Chain A
Amino acid sequence: MTIFRLIAAALLPVLFAIFFYILEKKTKFAKFPYFVKQIIIGIVFGGIAVLATEFGIAVEDAVLNVRNAAPLTAGLLFGGPAGIIAGLIGGIHRWFCVLWGSAGTYTRIACSLATVFAGFFGAACRKLMFDNKKTSWFYGFALGVTTEVLHMLLLFLTNMNDIDTAFTYVAKCAMPMIIANSLSVMLSLLLVSLIGKEKLRKPREKKQIAQIFQFLLLICVIVAFFVTSGFTYSLQTKISVADADQLLRLNLEDVKADITDASDANLLDLTRRIADDISILSASAELSALAKKYNVSEINIVGQNGIIQSSSRYDFIGFDMNSGEQSKEFLVLLNGATEFVQEYQPISFSSELSMKYAGVSIQGGGFVQVGYNSSRFQKDIADHVKLAARNRHIGTDGFVMICDEQFNVVSSPYEEHIGTPLQFETDNTLEEMLELEGQRFEAKGRMEYDAYCMFIRAEGYFIIASIPIEEAMFSRNIAVYVLAFMEILVFASLFICVYFLIKNLVVDNIHKVNASLAKITDGDLNITVNVRGNEEFASLSDDINSTVKTLKHYIAEAAARIDKELEFAKAIQHSALPSVFPPYPSRRDFSIYASMYTAKEVGGDFYDFYLLNDHTLIFLIADVSGKGIPAAMFMMTAKTIIKSLAESGMEIDEVFSQANTKLCHNNEAGMFVTAWMGSLDLQTGILSYVNAGHNPPLIRKAGGNFEYLKTRPNFVLAGMDGARYRKHELRLDPDDTIYLYTDGVTEATNTDTQLYGEERLLKLLCNSQSNDPKYLCMLVKDDVDLFVGSAPQFDDITMLSVKLDHIQTHDSIITYPKAESLQIVTDFLGNKLKEWDISLKSANRVHIALDEIYSNIIHYSGATRAEVTCIRLEGLIKLIFKDNGTPYDPTALEDPDITLSAEEREFGGLGIFMVRKSARDMNYTYVDGLNCLALTFEV
């Protein structure tokens, strides 16, 4: 039951760790402000610590709990503030809970401090060691162990004056609490990692420096730990055993002396009384009587020569005292000593007989020796012996007892033992046991614990001393526990220090150097490495900087040379393109403009245009794959081939087919060209075009708006021999505009790496105020520049725009009716009339007619296409207007009243009237959606 409660208490922090982790990952909890989250988590984990205290598990008089796991987990997993809050709540609660008795006073300071420490420790480790990230489970385990060990040491430190009780607590609590707390922290981290589907440990081919240090340190530490612990253990054991030996022996000697002294005094006294009763000449018979009277075993009288003169035992008479070791000792009485008592021992006369002798010298030389058997002298001192061991304790639980030769207890501090047979659990036989006199042996007596025992014999008694082994080893155990705890703390501190120092002095600096190097590798040679934390890194920084500086110098030199060459290449490339605008100043029937803005690197864009004859305009735009000199050279080849083929007069689809074939040959570099080429017939407005994989151009039909001219493109040029190219056709009307571009426009990139895009291009052109080619090209370039901002230009920006202004044949001119067109049509008519040598007056009439009718078409018809034809017949000039505007018959108009005064006159209506007056006839029809007005003038 106890174990289950312990497990439950240990699992509580784990459950809440998982709960908050999921809350953070899956719910809106993540959006709470940082400190709000920390406070919530801190309070919850503080609550868990409080619960752990309240539901502590009492084991005998110690209380087990898993309080420190909660703050440590909070600090490690969720952040410093949470850990500190949890620690403070748990610690303060622990301090005050003694008031209502949830926990004991004895461990109050130690437990409170340890819990507060756990919170701060978790917070500090997360911040200093783990870069504010949650760490691996094995660190969690180690930190859990460290915290609990500190808890135990605090228990010792706060109870220095009652070390016994402290040790009792620690001995009971240490292992379960260390294990439960550290497993709880470990499980929290482990399960959260598993839920987060993170790898438990990133597999790395190479270990980090800190890891290598830690690994080596760990090995050294483990070895050192076991060596010192083992050494201390064995040393302390030896000392403790020796102490126990000495303690036992001293007590035994003490008791023995006590008994012997009492016995000796008694016997000497008796012997003296016997000696008073006899004289040197006493016969043996008298001695026997005396022996009977005093109830002693024998009485001997020894002469000055050391020989027994007379004795109560006849067989002893004449025995030389010098002949035996035992008897010889008594000769001291012949040498001045007056009395002598010997120990109970076998006698020299017969080793089978044991006897205790006492002797006193007598007047006239010689001495009386009295022998006592054991029952005789024991009878006199029995009462004394009974008391000898009664109040004698060794240490706390050790004691002495005395038993007689029949192994019945005669004296013991425990009254109930007396008179009962001695009880010992031992493997030795009686003989072996008797051999062990004066030596320590282990045995279990009635006290049911293992004890160190020792016995000696005195006056026919066995004196036995014993002390519990546990008590004998108490100091050793404390020493070993404290040492082990201290070592764990010291090594944990060492670990953290080494980790922290390496991280600060080496790893962080290496990262800084690497970050700078990465920037340099990315091409920013202006970065300097500036890590000056210590001499080594300062020197490394300087070396790198000087290397980069030298490199930069070489690169700059090389770049300058290449730049120069590229400038030449660019100049050559540009000079190959027509760049004088307007290119055909005498042509007013179309306008053309083109521009190419090259990127820093030479690119492969190009445009071209030429008049094949006076009514065919060829124009194209192209983009060679890739960049640099190869692209530029390929571009020159492509441009030359296309131009020479086009100028030979073949159809443009054929031009592309043949150019493709030629470009495919000798194209080891595998380059290709996208191209769009158009051929505009200026007399009909028919535009033939062919597209080899190029971006669709934008076209604006008169009166409409720009839209992409999307026809399925054919394959790129130089891509595949034998590719086929299809010619498309469409009719352009006056004022129609076409705009060609390369992907340098649509793929221009700004600093946010967004593309300019076809959408924006289309929108820009649609909102354009003019469709003049030059205006359009400038407009797009300006807008691209605006879009790109400070981002570098990667690709050539090339564009070409053509506008058909009017279509002119020998007899007629087609225009888009607008104010500017009137001048063109007027000039056309003027040239015709001049050519025919028409009189000024007649010519003016025709001019007025043109002005009136054409102005009406411009202003009122809504037409987008107006054709004016001028034919000379014999004596007549025929002027025919055709427009696609709303039907309007000027011949049906009533004549204005020309008799009105100036004030009464209206402004309108005069034009048609004037025409009608000046023309010979005027004829209107409306056919096929066209207003057709024919005027005839006499000339």
Chain B
Amino acid sequence: MIINKSVTNETLTLFVEGRLDTTTAPELEAALSASLSGINALVIDLAKLEYISSAGLRVILKAQKLMNMLGTMKLINVNESIMEVFEITGFVDILTIE
């Protein structure tokens, strides 16, 4: 999994590539906790994410809970198979997906 970051004003954008599973989820979690200070808007770009497992969902959910307090969070460029997972798990209702 590859994670790229970009920060504009108080908006952090993360580009997540590859698989977000048990093995890689801790990396994203670490990346988030290291970059969130002074941020009030988080954007996660999932264009190149192949699949996401429950470990990945857990990190996303944790980020969402955090951003609900700090500001806003949105997921962009969510592809079909990832979307399917979000739908199955009811995540579409709690995430902002564009």
Contact A914 B64 (CB under 8 A): no
A901 to B93 CA separation, bound complex (whole angstroms): 8
Contact A902 B68 (CB under 8 A): yes
Q: Which chain A positions have C-beta within 8 A of B52? A: 848
Contact A848 B51 (CB under 8 A): yes
Beyond A899-B93, A914-B85, is A819–B23 a contact (Cβ under 8 Å)?
yes
Interface-centre pick from B54, B58, B65 (highest chain A CB count, 10 A): B54
In the complex formed, the residue of A with least CB distance to B95 is A902
Contact A852 B68 (CB under 8 A): no
Interface string of A236-261 (1 = CB under 8 A from B): 00000000000000000000000000
Interface string of B48-85 (1 = CB under 8 A from A): 00111111011001101100100000000000110001
Q: Which chain B positions have C-beta within 8 A of A858? A: 22
Contact A898 B89 (CB under 8 A): yes
B88 touches which of A823, A899, A917 (Cβ 8 Å):
A917
B90 within 8 A of A: yes
In the complex formed, the residue of B with least CB distance to A844 is B51
B61 touches which of A823, A826, A907, A917 (Cβ 8 Å):
A907
Contact A907 B85 (CB under 8 A): no
Interface-centre pick from A841, A847, A898, A899 (highest chain B CB count, 10 A): A898
A848 touches which of B53, B61, B62 (Cβ 8 Å):
B53
Beyond A823-B23, A847-B19, A851-B21, is A911–B54 a contact (Cβ under 8 Å)?
yes
A903 within 8 A of B: yes
A907 to B54 CA separation, bound complex (whole angstroms): 9
B58 touches which of A848, A898, A910 (Cβ 8 Å):
A910
A905 within 8 A of B: yes
A852 touches which of B54, B80, B88, B93 (Cβ 8 Å):
B54
In the complex formed, the residue of B with least CB distance to A913 is B89
A918 within 8 A of B: yes
B30 within 8 A of A: no
Contact B65 A910 (CB under 8 A): no
Beyond A903-B65, A905-B61, is A914–B53 a contact (Cβ under 8 Å)?
yes
B34 within 8 A of A: no
A898 to B64 CA separation, bound complex (whole angstroms): 15
Contact B94 A902 (CB under 8 A): yes
Contact A855 B55 (CB under 8 A): yes
Contact A901 B94 (CB under 8 A): yes
Q: Which chain A positions have C-beta within 8 A of B91? A: 898
A473 within 8 A of B: no
In the complex formed, the residue of A with least CB distance to B59 is A907
The distance from the CB of A256 to the nearest CB of chain B, in whole angstroms, is 150
Q: Tell me the chain A residues, 885-939 only, with Cβ under 8 Å from chain B.
A: 898-903, 905, 907, 910-911, 913-914, 917-918
The distance from the CB of A910 to the nearest CB of chain B, in whole angstroms, is 4
A822 within 8 A of B: yes
Contact A841 B81 (CB under 8 A): yes
Q: Which chain B positions have C-beta within 8 A of A902? A: 61, 64-65, 68, 94-95
The distance from the CB of B35 to the nearest CB of chain A, in whole angstroms, is 20
In the complex formed, the residue of B with least CB distance to A899 is B90
A852 to B54 CA separation, bound complex (whole angstroms): 7
A822 to B23 CA separation, bound complex (whole angstroms): 7
Contact B81 A911 (CB under 8 A): no
Interface-centre pick from A819, A858, A911 (highest chain B CB count, 10 A): A911
A913 to B51 CA separation, bound complex (whole angstroms): 16
Contact A851 B61 (CB under 8 A): no
In the complex formed, the residue of A with least CB distance to B23 is A822
In the complex formed, the residue of A with least CB distance to B58 is A907
Q: Which chain A positions have C-beta within 8 A of B55? A: 851, 855, 911
In the complex formed, the residue of A with least CB distance to B91 is A898
B81 touches which of A844, A852, A898 (Cβ 8 Å):
A844
The distance from the CB of B63 to the nearest CB of chain A, in whole angstroms, is 10
Q: Which chain A positions have C-beta within 8 A of B88? A: 898, 913-914, 917-918
Beyond A841-B80, A903-B68, is A910–B89 a contact (Cβ under 8 Å)?
yes
Q: Which chain B positions have C-beta within 8 A of A851? A: 21-23, 53, 55
Interface-centre pick from B19, B53, B62 (highest chain A CB count, 10 A): B53
Q: Which chain B positions have C-beta within 8 A of A847? A: 19, 21, 51
Beyond A819-B23, A822-B23, A841-B81, is A910–B68 a contact (Cβ under 8 Å)?
no
Contact B65 A911 (CB under 8 A): no
Q: Which chain A positions have C-beta within 8 A of B80? A: 841
Q: Which chain B positions have C-beta within 8 A of A903? A: 65, 68
Contact B62 A907 (CB under 8 A): yes
The distance from the CB of A905 to the nearest CB of chain B, in whole angstroms, is 6
Contact B22 A822 (CB under 8 A): yes
Q: Tell me the chain A residues, 833-848 only, with Cβ under 8 Å from chain B.
A: 840-841, 844-845, 847-848
A537 to B89 CA separation, bound complex (whole angstroms): 102
In the complex formed, the residue of B with least CB distance to A830 is B19
Q: Which chain A positions have C-beta within 8 A of B53? A: 848, 851-852, 855, 911, 914
Q: Which chain B positions have C-beta within 8 A of A914? A: 53-54, 57, 85, 88-89
Q: Which chain A positions have C-beta within 8 A of B23? A: 819, 822-823, 826, 851
A913 to B87 CA separation, bound complex (whole angstroms): 12
Q: Which chain A positions have C-beta within 8 A of B58? A: 907, 910
Q: Which chain B positions have C-beta within 8 A of A852? A: 22, 53-54
In the complex formed, the residue of B with least CB distance to A901 is B94
Q: Tell me the chain B residues, 1-38 only, with Cβ under 8 Å from chain A.
A: 19, 21-23
The distance from the CB of A404 to the nearest CB of chain B, in whole angstroms, is 155
Q: Which chain A positions have C-beta within 8 A of B19? A: 847
The distance from the CB of B27 to the nearest CB of chain A, in whole angstroms, is 13
In the complex formed, the residue of B with least CB distance to A917 is B88
A898 to B21 CA separation, bound complex (whole angstroms): 20
A898 to B89 CA separation, bound complex (whole angstroms): 6
The distance from the CB of B72 to the nearest CB of chain A, in whole angstroms, is 12
The distance from the CB of A823 to the nearest CB of chain B, in whole angstroms, is 6
Contact A844 B50 (CB under 8 A): yes
Interface string of A819-830 (1 = CB under 8 A from B): 100110010000
The distance from the CB of B64 to the nearest CB of chain A, in whole angstroms, is 5
A839 to B23 CA separation, bound complex (whole angstroms): 23
The distance from the CB of B71 to the nearest CB of chain A, in whole angstroms, is 14
A913 to B85 CA separation, bound complex (whole angstroms): 11
The distance from the CB of B86 to the nearest CB of chain A, in whole angstroms, is 10
A851 to B50 CA separation, bound complex (whole angstroms): 13
Q: Which chain A positions have C-beta within 8 A of B51? A: 844, 847-848
In the complex formed, the residue of B with least CB distance to A903 is B65
The distance from the CB of A234 to the nearest CB of chain B, in whole angstroms, is 122
In the complex formed, the residue of B with least CB distance to A859 is B22
Beyond A819-B23, A903-B68, is A898–B50 a contact (Cβ under 8 Å)?
no
The distance from the CB of B91 to the nearest CB of chain A, in whole angstroms, is 8
A845 to B23 CA separation, bound complex (whole angstroms): 16
In the complex formed, the residue of A with least CB distance to B68 is A902
Beyond A847-B51, A903-B68, A907-B58, is A898–B22 a contact (Cβ under 8 Å)?
no
Q: Which chain A positions have C-beta within 8 A of B89? A: 898, 910, 913-914
A840 to B91 CA separation, bound complex (whole angstroms): 22
Contact A910 B21 (CB under 8 A): no
Contact B57 A855 (CB under 8 A): no
Q: Which chain A positions have C-beta within 8 A of B64? A: 902
Q: Which chain A positions have C-beta within 8 A of B94? A: 900-902, 905
A917 to B50 CA separation, bound complex (whole angstroms): 18
Q: Which chain B positions have C-beta within 8 A of A826? A: 21, 23
A299 to B85 CA separation, bound complex (whole angstroms): 196
Beyond A844-B51, A918-B88, is A910–B22 a contact (Cβ under 8 Å)?
no
The distance from the CB of B74 to the nearest CB of chain A, in whole angstroms, is 13
The distance from the CB of A632 to the nearest CB of chain B, in whole angstroms, is 48
4 tightest A-B CB contacts, nearest first: A898-B90, A911-B54, A844-B51, A855-B22
Query: What are 26 A-B pairs with beta-carbon distances under 8 A?
Result: A819-B22, A822-B22, A822-B23, A840-B50, A840-B81, A841-B80, A848-B52, A851-B23, A851-B53, A852-B22, A855-B21, A855-B22, A855-B53, A898-B89, A899-B93, A900-B94, A905-B61, A907-B58, A907-B61, A910-B54, A910-B57, A911-B53, A911-B54, A911-B55, A913-B54, A914-B57
Besides the known contacts A822-B21, A855-B53, A914-B57, 6 further A-B residue pairs in the complex with CB atoms under 8 A apart: A845-B81, A851-B23, A898-B88, A901-B93, A913-B54, A914-B85
